[in-house]
Amino acid sequence: MADSQRIEDLRRRILKDPASIAFAQLAEEHRRAGQLEEAIRVSRAGLAQHPAYLSARITLGRALLEMGRYDEAAAEFEYVLKAAPDNLTAVRELADIKQRRGAIASQTSSAQPPTAAASQTTSEQRPLAAVSQTTSEQRPIAAASEADADSQPREPLTPAPDPVIAELEAWLAVLTEERDARSSRI
């Protein structure tokens, strides 16, 4: 079924039943079609009636993120994490927002002289430092005998970790830490 036909079918379904949760599907179809403003409008209208519908909040957050509206997108993903702390989509999207903000900050800071505030480590910078540190588990394991070492170059016995996975794990640790800190204040 073509995107436009699916969108029209979902619109008719919502017109028949304005309280339907099909608004989330409609918003997602608009988002996938690149109609971000419409995806945001549909999501917000539906969330006014169904504020706890997490899938719709994910769609809204993604549309906002694609438009570069990071604060609004982060608020949606944080809402999802409060309701469902193990929601990996929300964790990944928040990590993406932090990474994008970091990229923007590094672009603007390279054009400006450093300030005292720039020298402080923030929670957004911690994962990058954690990823760049090499632990004993990540270092190649030496060959068993000296004779082997002299005759051939040493091969690591354990594969090097995927840096993307390591960075995601570091972001997840930071987000979990921040979530735990928020929940302990409540």
Tens of pLDDT along 76-134?
Answer: 999 999 999 999 999 999 999 999 888 777 777 666 654 444 444 444 443 433 333 33
Instruction: State percent of the chain over pLDDT 90.
Output: 48
DSSP string, the chain: --HHHHHHHHHHHHHH-TT-TTHHHHHHHHHHTT-HHHHHHHHHHHHHH-TT-HHHHHHHHHHHHHTT-HHHHHHHHHHHHHH-TT-HHHHHHHHHHHHHHHHHHHHHHHHS---TGGGS--TTTHHHHHHHSPPTTTSPPPPS-HHHHHHS----SSPPPPHHHHHHHHHHHHHHHHHHHHHHH-
pLDDT of 123: 40
pLDDT of residue 163: 63
Give the C-alpha separation, 29 to 61, whole Å: 14
Which range has highest mean pLDDT (44-58, 135-149, 160-174)? 44-58
What's the confidence (pLDDT) of residue 175? 73
pLDDT tens-digit profile of 166-179?
A: 666 676 777 777 77
Return mean pLDDT, the chain: 75
pLDDT in tens, 62-81: 999 999 999 999 999 999 99
pTM confidence score: 0.58
Distance between CA atoms of residues 85 and 23, nearest Å: 24
Residue 47 has pLDDT above 80, yes or no: yes
Domain boundaries, the chain: 1-120, 121-186
What is the model's pLDDT at position 186? 66
According to CATH, the superfamily of the domain at 1-120 is: Tetratricopeptide repeat domain (1.25.40.10)
Q: How confident is the model at residue 48 (pLDDT cuts 50, 70, 90)?
A: very high
Question: What is the average pLDDT across 4-15?
Answer: 92
